[in-house]
Amino acid sequence: MGFIKEFKEFAMKGNVMDMAVGVIIGGAFGKIVSSLVDDVLMPAIGMLTGNVDFTKLTAKIGTGEDAAVLKYGVFIQNIIDFLIIALCIFFMIKLMNKVMKKKEEEPAPEPEPTNEEKLLGEIRDLLKDKK
C-alpha cells in the first residue's frame, strides 16, 4: 500500500476525526475557562487579598543584571486555571455518564410484528380454538 493511500485511510478514520473535533473544541473551551479565570475570578480573588494582581507577583534571586526573576504569580494563576478546567471537565464527564446510563436503562420498544407474524399468530389462535 502506498504511503499516500495509507495516510488517507488513517486520516479518514472516525477516531481521528473525532479527536480533531475534540482538540478544536478543547482549545476553544480552554480560552473560555482562561478568560473566566483571568477576567472574572482572579480580579475577585485579588480584591479579597487586598487588590493583589497575581500576574505581577515576582521574586528576584540574585542582584544586578544576573538576577533571575521568578514569576510565581503567573504560576499560581495557571494552577487555578488548571483546577477550574479539570473541575469543568469532571462535571461534563459526570453529566455525560449519567445521560448515557439513562439511555442504557431505557428498554427498546418491541418492534411491530410483520404481516407474516400476524398471520402465523392468527393461524395459531385458530388451531387452539379447534382443539
What is the Cα–Cα distance from 8 to 94, expressed in whole angstroms?
35
Domain span at residue 39 reads 3-130
Tell me the CB-side half-sphere exposure of residue 38, using CA atoms within 13 A.
Answer: 11
What is the CATH number for 112? Answer: 1.10.1200.120
Helix (H) and strand (E) counts in the chain? 5, 2
Q: What is the number of domains present in the chain?
A: 1
Question: Does pLDDT of 14 surpass 70?
Answer: no
* pLDDT tens for each residue of 92-107: 889 888 888 877 777 7
pLDDT digits (tens, 9 = 90+) for 31-89: 887 788 778 887 887 788 787 777 888 999 988 888 898 999 889 888 887 888 788 77
Dihedral of alpha carbons 77, 81, 86, 92, sign:
positive
